[in-house]
Amino acid sequence: MSTVADFLTDPWQHVFMQRAFAVAVMCSIVSGVVGSHVVLRGMAFIGDAVSHSVFPGVAIAFVLEFNLVVGGAVAGLLTALAVAVFSQNRRLREDSVIGVFFAAAFGLGIVILSTAPGYGGSLESFLFGQILGISDGDVRTVAVAGAAVLLVAAAVHKELVTVSLDRETARAAGLPVFGLDILLYALVTITVVISLQAVGNILVLALLITPAACARLLTDRIGAMMVLAPAIGAGSAVVGLYLSYHRNLAAGGLIVLVATGVFVLCWVFAPRHGLLAGRRGRPRRPEGDPPPPAEHPDAPAPAVTGAG
């Protein structure tokens, strides 16, 4: 019994672990809410693009010996704005535009860093996360920025959902679709930037998308999804940090692996949309009956219902 108690309480005796738990949970909650909108719109690639588009801003900040987070945030917001503007051309799909700017931003970052010899070690925390080395100031920054993101997301929740489900209906209803696109990209950018220290640039997409994808499998209701995704993300972060502390392994990677494990469980065991639920709900065909017609590959999936 004491072994279990020690397992649970030992990490909390260290200030650096207390900070890590606080930042990981806060980032997971914000990522879960914003990531739900990203998953609903089927634009998971934007998270990867934004996480890499902050790279040139970080590179410039590093060369100029400026704050890396501020530099990354500015670059991410500018890239997000460019994606929103260029995506208005209906000849191009949004993911194509994202791919263009994703590659351009990363290429620019590499070119800039090539002018600063000896940069590799200094940016290791940006690439892989350094959640065990954050300061009290970092905790406050994440708390303030995260609270601001959640307040804005709550204020425009219905509008973002409407655009996600049917852009043409939203436009016909008089909603500023272009402005809402920019706002969502900005929310994604800020979420990515504040999460960099938790899991790093390489893994930040998982924190944004995986918990929301789990929630999408578990519920058809948007309100429930907005609760489940942050809960799954926060739970994965806590479990990952415990494993990191006791096994002396990389915290960011373990957080992502735990979240991925939850996704696999949801994919198999989700009550209505899991693999086993689909097999249980499929009626057996009597011998001699012709097979049912195959579903058209372009048939729409069941719509998400209710905002509450």
CB 135, CB 177: distance < 8 Å = no
The pTM is what?
0.80
Residue 301: what pLDDT?
45
298 found inside a domain: no
* Stretch among 32-41, 264-273, 288-297 having the lowest mean pLDDT: 288-297
Q: Which long-range contacts (CB under 8 A, 24 or more apart) does 290-296 make?
A: none
pLDDT tens profile 149-191? 999 999 999 999 999 888 888 999 899 988 998 899 889 888 9
pLDDT tens profile 56-107? 887 788 778 777 778 888 888 888 788 778 877 666 666 677 778 777 877 7
pLDDT tens profile 193-243? 888 777 777 678 888 999 999 999 999 999 999 999 999 999 999 999 999
305 three-state secondary structure: strand
Residue 298: what pLDDT?
41
305 found inside a domain: no
Closest Cα to residue 50, out of 105, 117, 89? 105
Does 46 score more than 70 pLDDT? Answer: yes
Which pLDDT band, with edges at 50, 70 and 90, does 307 fall under?
A: very low
145 found inside a domain: yes
CB 243, CB 293: distance < 8 Å = no
In the chain, pLDDT over 90 holds for what percent of residues?
Answer: 35
Q: Which domain holds residue 190?
A: 2-280
Does 7 score more than 80 pLDDT? Answer: yes
59 found inside a domain: yes
Residue 148: what pLDDT?
95
For range 265-284, the mean pLDDT = 79
Residue 224: what pLDDT?
94
148 found inside a domain: yes
Residue 70: what pLDDT?
82
When divided into structural domains, the chain yields a total of 1
Residue 77: what pLDDT?
84
80 found inside a domain: yes
Look over the chain and give the mean of its residue pLDDT values, rounded to a whole number: 81
H/E element holding 178? helix 177-218
For range 249-272, the mean pLDDT = 92
CB 76, CB 193: distance < 8 Å = yes
295 found inside a domain: no
* Stretch among 21-25, 100-104, 224-228, 265-269 having the lowest mean pLDDT: 100-104
Q: Read off the DSSP letter of residue 11.
A: G
What CATH number corresponds to the domain at position 172?
1.10.3470.10
Q: Residues, the chain, total?
A: 308
* Stretch among 46-50, 214-218, 280-284 having the lowest mean pLDDT: 280-284
Q: Give dist(CA 172, CA 186) in Å, integer.
A: 24
76 found inside a domain: yes
